């Protein structure tokens, strides 16, 4: 802002002196400064950036929710597999034992 005020003061002086080339140069310089300020404080850019950040956060929440659901499903399936494995081990242990009635006593 200080630079713009300085340019405005020099513009007044250039007008008083009728220095047209200097006045044009100062007008161009002032416009560049104003454009730079507009670029820094462009509300549409800030809004767009905030919207993008919000969308990314929403996607992160959805992803986290999906991952939690998947982990719960995997835990359930692992528990089911462990129970099935335990049942099969017990079944195999029972089947592999030869009942005493079938044991050949000649061996």
* Angstrom distance (rounded) from CA 97 to CA 94: 6
CB contact at 8 A, 26 and 11: yes
List pLDDT tens digits, range 29-61.
878 877 777 776 666 666 776 777 777 777 777
Arithmetic mean of pLDDT, 82-94: 89
Helix or strand holding residue 101 (H, E):
none
User: Strand, coil or helix: what is 104?
Assistant: coil
* Angstrom distance (rounded) from CA 64 to CA 37: 40
List pLDDT tens digits, range 53-63.
777 777 777 87
Query: Is the entire prediction scored with pTM above 0.85?
Result: no
């Amino acid at each position: 802002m200080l630079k713009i005020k300085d340019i405005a003061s020099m513009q007044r002086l250039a007008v008083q002196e009728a220095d047209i080339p200097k006045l044009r140069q100062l007008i161009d310089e002032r416009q560049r400064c104003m454009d730079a300020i507009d670029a820094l404080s462009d509300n549409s850019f800030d809004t767009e950036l905030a919207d993008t950040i919000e969308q990314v956060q929403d996607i992160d929440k959805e992803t986290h929710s999906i991952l939690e659901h998947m982990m719960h499903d995997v835990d359930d399936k692992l528990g089911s597999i462990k129970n099935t494995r335990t049942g099969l081990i017990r079944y195999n242990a029972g089947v592999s034992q030869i009942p005493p009635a079938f044991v050949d006593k000649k061996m």
